Amino acid sequence: MVTFERLTKSKLHYFSSVLDKKQRQASGLFHIEGIHLFEEFLKSGFRADWIVLHTDFISQHPQLANTIWNKFSAITYQANSAEFRKISDTENAQGIAAGIHQKKNNEVDFSTASKDIIVALDQINDPGNLGTILRSADWFGIKKIVLSKSSVDIYNPKVVRASMGSIFRVTCQSVDMPQFLRLAKEKNYRIFAASIDPGAPVELDKTNTSSVIVIGNEAHGISDPIKQLCSHEIRIPKFGHAESLNAATACAILMYEFSKQRYGDAK
């Protein structure tokens, strides 16, 4: 059985700080935890700053422990139960956590190809919703999400967990939303506001033009300044009696409709 360096108090303090938003922003790291997320990390192009394994994890998962030893032994540490709890953000910790380098928040890539799709999220506050939207975007082949600066932190641990690894494949960037939408219009993207207006269209017109899908806040919808920058509306038809749809659910339905037009027949 491989043996990793013991975790010191100073490293424990540094590693646990990544659970705090301000410290995440300062360090440029984000926290992942659990076997599935770690395996998704291994398949990505992201870099780890540190890895911590519970001592029991090493004996219970010798194959993964050996992989980590061969690739990351210089930055991997082992911890006891009390130490691991301080760097864990889950009730039922699996015994593996890591600090991962965030992607740089570069300018949004506006594709010159036809039928590009970007999802724009206006004041989305629930981390579970954002993580689910990332996961749905990954399913529907949508690679770009932009988020207003008043939204939840992209690298909130709950967002990362809810994404189920899609955070490694879908680019999610914090932007000045009005500025982004104006630039998207200059690039000939159609800007669609998700609407509950009964007069809004429910069908997409056939076109090769790229699109932005704007989804609003869970409680209040799209803010007025953002709505004014949208050139089109799109509505999900209602057949039952529910008052509204969850933001992540509404977003998934619209992503399906836009992706169907983009890709044609389902894979």
Question: Does the pLDDT of residue 198 top 80, yes or no?
Answer: no
What is the pLDDT, as a whole number, of residue 266? 54
List of E strands, the chain: 5-6, 29-33, 48-54, 76-79, 96-101, 117-121, 144-148, 171-175, 190-195, 211-215, 232-235
Question: Does the pLDDT of residue 188 top 80, yes or no?
Answer: yes
Question: Does the pLDDT of residue 83 top 80, yes or no?
Answer: yes
The token pair at 203 is 């069908």
Query: How confident is the model over 234-251, as a mean pLDDT?
Result: 91
Question: Does the pLDDT of residue 89 top 60, yes or no?
Answer: yes
- What CA–CA distance (Å, rounded) separates 11 from 14? 5
Tokens 């017109």 sit at which residue?
Answer: 205
Question: Does the pLDDT of residue 210 top 70, yes or no?
Answer: yes
- What CA–CA distance (Å, rounded) separates 173 from 143? 11
Domains of the chain as residue ranges with CATH: 5-101 (3.30.1330.30), 117-263 (3.40.1280.10)
What is the pLDDT, as a whole number, of residue 267? 52
Q: Closest Cα to residue 120, out of 145, 154, 151, 155?
A: 145
- The alpha carbon dihedral of 70, 76, 81, 86 has a sign of negative
Measured between its terminal Cα atoms, the distance across the chain in Å is: 43
What is the pLDDT, as a whole number, of residue 106? 79
**pLDDT (tens digit, 9 = 90+) per residue, 106-156?**
788 887 777 899 999 999 999 999 999 999 999 999 999 999 999 999 999
What is the pLDDT, as a whole number, of residue 200? 77
Q: How many residues belong to the chain?
A: 267
Query: How confident is the model over 214-243, as a mean pLDDT?
Result: 91
Query: How confident is the model over 52-79, as a mean pLDDT?
Result: 96
Question: Does the pLDDT of residue 85 top 70, yes or no?
Answer: yes
Cβ–Cβ < 8 Å for 165, 199: no
Ranking 128-137, 158-167, 194-203 by mean pLDDT, the lowest is 194-203
At 263, the pLDDT band (50, 70, 90 cuts) reads: confident
What is the pLDDT, as a whole number, of residue 224? 93
- What CA–CA distance (Å, rounded) separates 152 from 81? 30
Query: How confident is the model over 246-266, as a mean pLDDT?
Result: 88
pTM over 0.85: yes
At 68, the pLDDT band (50, 70, 90 cuts) reads: very high
Q: Give the mean pLDDT of the chain.
A: 93
Question: Does the pLDDT of residue 46 top 60, yes or no?
Answer: yes
Query: How confident is the model over 240-244, as a mean pLDDT?
Result: 88
What is the pLDDT, as a whole number, of residue 143? 94
Question: Does the pLDDT of residue 201 top 80, yes or no?
Answer: no
